[in-house]
Chains A and B, each alone.
Chain A
């Protein structure tokens, strides 16, 4: 079956631009997570959804970061007024239940110039 997909795979933005990153989770998975991964580091948690409800957004680094999952399936991570420090790989993961193993997409590599 299809795994987690993310688009675009690569995004280059000029500083100050807004970007939107999309995640299509595995069908039927209730939980969806966003992580940020800097080069050579492990991922860092950003936010978590259970169906359409955003239950934890404690990892979002600033109010420029916003995530939504309006129908409980596809999710979008939006970054407003991008800064150079936002450059990273953004990973999306889904799981059937919140405590289950998480399955990851390939990530979106964001480069802010």
Chain B
């Protein structure tokens, strides 16, 4: 059965304290892995798509990486406005639905 597991469930950091969020997955064939950010009361906001092991993408203070079994979202020198829930989802080769993890709630304290 396809599964996506995110860790930790919650992470509190001081402003400027870098860290990483983990997304491990098991799928029969990966079409793509997606990272989203979700703020309270809003829909998920697209961040990155990764397609193959070894691929990396960056956007401002965020960098996403992919291996055959997991993805990391690295956050460098975070600011309070980076506080949100970060969701990871995978899309199988055989269909187009996204299979989601439960998310990591990130809190950045000033």
From A35-43, A68-76, A77-85, the one touching the partner chain is A35-43
Q: Is B98 positioned at the interface, with any CB of A under 8 Å from its CB?
A: yes
Contact with A along B35-55 (1 / 0, CB 8 A): 010000111111001000000
- Majority-rule SS of B interface residues: strand
Find out whether the CB atom of A42 lies under 8 angstroms from the CB atom of B103: yes
Find out whether the CB atom of A99 lies under 8 angstroms from the CB atom of B87: no
Number of A-B contacts (CB under 8 A): 60
Find out whether the CB atom of A43 lies under 8 angstroms from the CB atom of B97: no
Residues 73 to 110 of chain B near chain A (Cβ within 8 Å): 87, 89, 91, 95-103
| Chain B residue with Cβ nearest A104 | B43
Residues of A within 8 A of B36 (CB): 104
Residues of A within 8 A of B96 (CB): 31, 33, 48, 55-56, 98-99
Q: How many residues of A contact B (CB 8 A)?
A: 26
Residues of B within 8 A of A107 (CB): 42-43
Residues of B within 8 A of A4 (CB): 43
| Chain A residue with Cβ nearest B91 | A99
Find out whether the CB atom of A42 lies under 8 angstroms from the CB atom of B87: yes
Find out whether the CB atom of B45 lies under 8 angstroms from the CB atom of A43: no
Find out whether the CB atom of A40 lies under 8 angstroms from the CB atom of B102: yes
Residues 55 to 101 of chain A near chain B (Cβ within 8 Å): 55-56, 58-59, 91, 93, 98-99, 101
Q: Is B72 positioned at the interface, with any CB of A under 8 Å from its CB?
A: no
Q: Is A44 positioned at the interface, with any CB of B under 8 Å from its CB?
A: yes
Find out whether the CB atom of B34 lies under 8 angstroms from the CB atom of A101: yes
Instruction: Return B5 CB to nearest CB of chain A, in Å.
Output: 11
Residues 1 to 48 of chain B near chain A (Cβ within 8 Å): 4, 31-32, 34, 36, 41-46
Residues of B within 8 A of A56 (CB): 95-97
A-B contact pairs, 23 of them (CB 8 A): A33-B96, A40-B102, A41-B103, A42-B87, A42-B103, A43-B44, A43-B87, A48-B95, A48-B96, A56-B95, A56-B96, A58-B97, A98-B96, A99-B91, A101-B46, A102-B46, A102-B98, A104-B44, A104-B46, A105-B43, A106-B41, A106-B43, A107-B42
